[in-house]
Structure 1
């Protein structure tokens, strides 16, 4: 063989390196192209863990739910489990922990997973108020306000006067500029459960946004009074 041809051909090591680079570039392209499709999917460990929590969730057994959620293995602990636990903490007035989990889910962009999971939950439990409430929550986190409000309406048809759905619908109404409707819902939530801290915080936020300063301090003080957090929020 002509030595000049040998010199012009890439070495075996060079060819292997080129193949490796091509494979890496191909993988990066696939991740970029398919990443949005995978982002909303729920891994099997997380799906299995969430499934075990559903009976407690649908029956609003918040304390048991929060305790059971802490036993979920860390390798399956992500968006859906975080948001289930956040809602349990919200109902239990563990507001700082609830806020941390809600914020973490938003920061890590878990809302697509939550949307998918709540859609499936509602499909299996159309007659359950919690399923409608969580569906409304998922829609609200995607800023689909009108759809979220309708979901909370459905939850309240099944469970009239339910403080969690009233408070959530008030937040959605406020987001749409319905100040009077929001205030009505927050007041109704407080009337239904006078020790529910988040309803006072929601009303205080509404008062702040509408510049009704006389009530702002008292609302947040009431929220702090009912919160179970050692370091008040």
Structure 2
């Protein structure tokens, strides 16, 4: 926030503050920053992924799906985007699509935190609604 006082429209700083807002469960605040970040740098895939996450947390699933699709157009093998798309697909009832995304995350980045989350998400699908 202090750095943004000096450069209020810096897309990278806006994305960083948005990440902090998401960690504090403030998706509305994050979305405000991310709208400015993607307007300032539409080629920043990370900002599009974060935007998708904020929108999803605000139960705005269709725009979240559009945002993650944009991230994947920019970086087709972005594991964070695939992880997020899997979550969105699961919410939309596409368990097979979610599984495919999460398997790809594990294939591309097996030792990453994204792979750990993908594996956890797949285990939840396998457990079924009664065991969650």
TM tier, smaller: 0.7 to 0.9
Q: How does 1:47-126 map to 2 (within 5 A)?
A: 47-48=4-5, 54-55=11-12, 80=18, 82-83=20-21, 102=23, 105-106=24-25, 110-126=26-42
Task: In structure 1, list runs of 5 or more residues that go unmatched.
Answer: 1-43, 59-64, 66-78, 87-101, 213-233
Q: Which stretches of structure 1, 4 residues or longer, exceed 2 Å deviation after superposition?
A: 44-58, 197-212
Q: How far apart, CA to CA, are the structure 2 residues paired with 1:161 and 1:81? A: 21
Structure 1 counterpart of 2:111: 195
Is residue 2:66 matched to residue 1:128?
no
Q: How far apart, CA to CA, are the structure 1 residues paired with 2:111 and 2:13? A: 22
TM-superposed CA distance for 1:203, in Å, is 2.9
Q: How does 1:26-65 map to 2 (within 5 A)?
A: 45=2, 47-48=4-5, 54-55=11-12
Is residue 2:81 matched to residue 1:165?
yes
Structure 2 counterpart of 1:224: none
The match for 1:152 among 48, 55, 68 is: 68
CA contact (8 A) 1:173 1:179 kept: yes
Task: In structure 2, list runs of 5 or more residues that go unmatched.
Answer: none
Q: Deviations over 1:6-47 (max 9, x none)?
A: xxxxxxxxxxxxxxxxxxxxxxxxxxxxxxxxxxxxxx6474
Q: How far apart, CA to CA, are the structure 2 residues paired with 1:139 and 1:49? A: 28
TM-superposed CA distance for 1:183, in Å, is 0.4
Q: TM-score, normalised by structure 1?
A: 0.47
Q: How far apart, CA to CA, are the structure 2 residues paired with 1:182 and 1:156? A: 15
Is residue 2:55 matched to residue 1:143?
no
Structure 2 counterpart of 1:208: 124
User: How many pairs align?
Assistant: 128
Q: How far apart, CA to CA, are the structure 1 residues paired with 2:98 and 2:34? A: 24
Bigger Rg, structure 1 or 2: 1
Larger displacement relative to structure 2 (166-175 or 125-134): 125-134
